[in-house]
Amino acid sequence: MILDSKMILKKSFYARPTLEVAKELLGCILVREIDGKKLRAVITEVEAYIGEDDLASHASKGRTPRTELMFGQAGHAYVYMIYGMYYCLNIITEKKNFPAAVLIRAVTIEDIEYKKTNGPGKLCRELRISRNLNGIDMTLGRDIWIEKGLIEIGEIVANERIGIDYAKHCKEYPWRFTLKDFVGKK
């Protein structure tokens, strides 16, 4: 397998403020390697989760076995299940012991209908992302990683995050970012 390691996003990219990382992930390429074949998907929508004070974050209830990865090294995958049937892919950001991550909400893949990848559970199903990738270092170029985007991304739209009514005032934070041409749910 030949990789252009210059294209793979490094730990230093992720070890920065989460809102910056989230916006800069838009237009980047999520690569999933399965049985020697690479699926490439352009990231079109993300959400940021920052610290224990963010009531929408899993880390808001403190450090637990489930959330331990969120307190770990930047650039690692945090994969969890929702509704007992869908996986979600997040990438850990910022510094160790500060729980922050970016959820990949939507991607577009050439020759695959956008409606199949326009939600976190849908994209994980389409790219065969499951708990077996939980904790993987996404900066190594094995199984799953993110590469620099080769497209001009244009305007970024910021909105409230989706599906977090329980998060009190935190649900109003405009921490969902979308490429203008790929606006999903409102």
- Average pLDDT (53-70) is 92
2: confidence class by pLDDT, cuts 50, 70, 90? very low
- Average pLDDT (8-15) is 98
Percentages helix, strand, coil for the chain (3-state, rounded to 5) are 25, 30, 45
The confidence score (pLDDT) of residue 151 equals 66
The confidence score (pLDDT) of residue 185 equals 45
Radius of gyration of the chain (CA): 15
Contact 144, 129 (CB under 8 A): yes
Residues 148-172 have pLDDT tens digits of 986 666 789 999 998 888 899 989 9
Residues 87-128 have pLDDT tens digits of 999 999 999 999 999 999 999 887 776 677 888 999 999 999
Q: What is the residue-averaged pLDDT of the chain? A: 90
The confidence score (pLDDT) of residue 109 equals 85
Unique residue bearing structure tokens 């307190």? 71
3: confidence class by pLDDT, cuts 50, 70, 90? low
- Average pLDDT (8-27) is 97
Q: How large a percentage of the chain has pLDDT more than 90?
A: 74
The confidence score (pLDDT) of residue 182 equals 64
Q: How large a percentage of the chain has pLDDT more than 70?
A: 91
Instruction: Tell me how many degrees the CA angle 177-89-140 measures, rounded to the nearest 5.
Output: 105
CATH class of 11-182: alpha beta
Q: Domain spans of the chain?
A: 11-182
- To which H or E segment does residue 7 belong? none
